[in-house]
């Protein structure tokens, strides 16, 4: 609530206290002195008879404490003409004397005692108070269900879900989600395709609740929405294509550890709440705000399970190389999301290679099959290297840059193998192409990440969607609190 919307406090000295606070008990003699000096109003949070023998305003509903942003008690406020002029928290004799003008105030008390937390900010009450007294500040439309409606089924009936149950986005849950960021609820995060609807922080919070996110995940969701709704990423095109691609979210930086993301075993699978719900929240924003629903603008002929949610963290601590975010220009130690337009992951198995050249050749043989062995230059890829495979390269002294360069060399394919009709396959490049060989991927089109479990000589490749002006580019965004 803004200051102008707050009910005015009475002029004079206003003090907020609670009996269950030793410092409030300590300053009772001071309050009696202030009462003798002039107008004094006391709001008591937990006992309308405390302090005894004085005129008390009962604030057990905590409405006044909440509306006037009381964070600790005792709080002394000086009010003139209904306008707050100054305040101090706890007991510090010098500040109380300066605010009140009483020279001998609290002469028998210690010079300083810290206050206690206000009940209005106690986690037990804070969200309920925000709903009771601040819920009107939320701009989202309220939907009321009939008494016999089941909340889960009602969400399905109204088309809000991705086919799985969602968490009902009550005001309390949305307000809790909004506490995960310092950004204002009415700030426009992005214009969401395909319907090009302005989406605020609050609208993203609603969908993050439905996805099952915790508030500490929320900055990651916001960054993912920002990245998705750019011309560079081209979310509209990714929806409209009949190919099975969707946004893949890779998280780098300190926030991975802070929110408990998985970068190890089963990294692309189930079981980690942050991984599963962050990706799902982005997809729900695209669906519920932007209108990107399957069978409508979303024209994927097959789709893939990752279109529900595909989000994971890179294992930066275990990696022998720098993180993906640094490859894309981020500064060290900065938390980021990278969005990649990807299909489902495909395993690469090589149990026998103990030399980097042999393993690189295995990678190249598999990477050539992405999309189609005879289609080149139009699609990027992610190569997710597992710990046991990475060890083969690191022990031989291969850098990430050397591996990528070697892969590009191995993926220069003779044009005679790629032209239409070669190998008895009609698919391929036009016969008029004159270059003797063509690269499978454009420069910069192979993105390396390090993740996965430490048992198993496996890596994984994720094919991309069309690159270039008509397609989509990997898109990096810094995560802001």
Q: Rounded to an integer, what is the distance from CA 12 to the centroid of its chain?
A: 45
Q: Rounded to an integer, what is the distance from CA 282 to the centroid of its chain?
A: 9
Minimal CA–CA distance to 179: which of 129, 133, 234, 217? 217
d(C-alpha 309, C-alpha 87), whole Å = 48
d(C-alpha 294, C-alpha 277), whole Å = 19
Element spanning 77, H or E: strand 75-80
Buried b (16+ CB within 10 A) or exposed e, 121-153: beeebbbebbbbbbeeebeeeeeeeeeeeeeee
Give residue 5's pLDDT. Answer: 60
The tally of CA atoms less than 13 A away on the side-chain side of residue 224 is 34
- Confirm if 161 and 289 have CB atoms less than 8 A apart: no
- Confirm if 9 and 41 have CB atoms less than 8 A apart: yes
Minimal CA–CA distance to 363: which of 344, 347, 374? 347
Structure tokens at 174: 């949305």
How many CB atoms are located within 10 Å of the residue 351 CB? 8
3-state secondary structure of 466: strand
Residues of the chain with pLDDT under 50: 1-4
Give residue 1's pLDDT. Answer: 38
Minimal CA–CA distance to 281: which of 206, 343, 216, 187? 206
User: pLDDT (tens digit, 9 = 90+) per residue, 128-173?
Assistant: 999 898 766 788 888 888 888 999 999 999 999 999 999 999 999 9
pTM passes above 0.75: yes
Domains of the chain: 3-122 (3.40.30.10), 154-478 (no CATH)
Give residue 411's pLDDT. Answer: 98
User: pLDDT (tens digit, 9 = 90+) per residue, 319-359?
Assistant: 999 999 999 999 989 999 999 999 999 999 999 999 999 99
Give residue 370's pLDDT. Answer: 97
């Amino acid at each position: 609530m803004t200051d102008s919307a707050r009910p005015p406090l009475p002029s004079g000295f206003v003090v907020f206290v609670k009996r269950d606070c030793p410092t409030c008990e300590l300053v009772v003699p001071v309050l009696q002195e202030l009462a003798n000096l002039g107008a004094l109003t006391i709001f008591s949070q937990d006992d309308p008879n405390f302090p005894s023998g004085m005129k008390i305003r009962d604030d057990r509903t905590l409405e006044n404490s909440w509306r006037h942003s009381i964070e600790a008690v005792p709080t002394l406020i000086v009010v003139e003409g209904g306008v707050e002029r100054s305040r101090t928290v706890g007991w510090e004799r010098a500040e109380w004397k300066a605010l009140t003008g009483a020279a001998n105030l609290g002469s028998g008390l210690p010079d300083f005692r810290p206050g206690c937390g206000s009940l209005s900010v106690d986690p037990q009450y804070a969200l309920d108070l925000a709903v009771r007294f601040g819920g009107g500040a939320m701009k989202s439309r309220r939907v009321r269900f009939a008494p016999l409606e089941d909340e889960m089924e009602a969400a399905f009936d109204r088309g809000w879900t991705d086919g799985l149950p969602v968490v009902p986005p009550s005001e309390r849950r949305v307000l809790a989600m909004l506490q995960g960021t310092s950004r204002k609820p009415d700030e426009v995060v992005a214009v969401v395709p395909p319907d090009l609807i302005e989406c605020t922080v609050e609208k993203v919070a609603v969908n993050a609740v439905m996805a099952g996110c915790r508030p500490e995940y929320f900055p990651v969701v916001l960054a993912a929405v920002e990245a998705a709704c750019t011309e560079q990423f081209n979310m509209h095109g990714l929806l409209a294509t009949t190919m099975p691609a969707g946004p893949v979210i890779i998280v780098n930086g300190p926030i991975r550890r802070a929110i408990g993301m998985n970068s190890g075993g089963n990294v692309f699978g189930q079981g980690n709440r942050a991984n599963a719900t962050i990706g799902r929240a982005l997809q729900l924003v695209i669906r519920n705000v932007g209108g990107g629903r399957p069978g409508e603008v979303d024209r994927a002929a097959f789709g893939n399970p990752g279109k529900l949610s595909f989000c994971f963290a890179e294992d930066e601590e275990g990696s022998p190389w720098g993180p993906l975010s640094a490859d894309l220009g981020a500064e060290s130690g900065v938390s980021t999301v990278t969005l990649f337009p990807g299909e489902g992951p495909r395993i690469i198995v090589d149990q026998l290679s103990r030399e980097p050249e042999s393993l690189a050749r295995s990678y190249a043989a598999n990477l050539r099959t992405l999309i189609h062995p005879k289609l080149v230059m139009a699609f990027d890829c992610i190569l997710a290297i597992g710990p046991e495979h990475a060890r083969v390269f690191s022990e031989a002294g291969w850098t990430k840059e050397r591996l990528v360069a070697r892969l590009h060399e191995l993926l220069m394919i003779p044009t005679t193998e790629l032209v239409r009709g070669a190998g008895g396959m009609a698919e391929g490049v036009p016969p008029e192409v004159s270059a003797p060989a063509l690269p499978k991927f454009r420069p910069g089109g192979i993105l390396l990440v390090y993740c996965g479990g430490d048992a198993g000589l496996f890596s994984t490749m994720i094919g991309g969607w069309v690159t270039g002006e008509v397609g989509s580019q990997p898109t990096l965004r810094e995560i802001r609190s």
